[in-house]
Amino acid sequence: MMLIPCPWCGPRNEIEFHYGGQADVHYPSDPRSTSDEDWAHFLFFRDNPKGVFTERWSHAAGCRRWFTVHRDTVTNEIHPDDSASAARTVTR
């Protein structure tokens, strides 16, 4: 079991959360001039690191808010996201 740090509720059991995958995947800024290849990458291609992954979780059975963490995909060591972009990503 993982203890996942919800920024609002503190560390909680993984069963309360819903997984959102890679963080900071942005909708193409100019969709009309986006190539098929770039659409494909936006829709289907995500990072898949063996190591630290910056990812989204939603506290589905708690406060229901989305947030970002950095988790090691080998050890499950998990750290809250305190980067400058945190405020933006948590409200997205």
Which residues contact other proteins (rule: CB under 8 A)?
Answer: 1-2, 14-15, 18-19, 21, 36-37, 39-41, 43-46, 48-50, 53, 55, 71, 73-76
Smallest Cα–Cα separation from 42: which of 58, 55, 24?
24
From CA 86, how far away is CA 18, in angstroms rounded?
19
Residue 56 binds which of other proteins, Zn ion, none (CB < 5-8 A, kind-dependent): none
Residue pair 91/17 in contact by the 8 Å Cβ criterion: no
Cβ of residue 27: shortest distance to other proteins, in angstroms? 17
Cβ of residue 31: shortest distance to other proteins, in angstroms? 16
In 7-81, beta strands by DSSP E: 10-13, 18-22, 52-58, 66-72, 78-80
Task: Check residue 63 for interaction with Zn ion (CB under 5 A).
Answer: yes
Cβ of residue 14: shortest distance to other proteins, in angstroms? 6
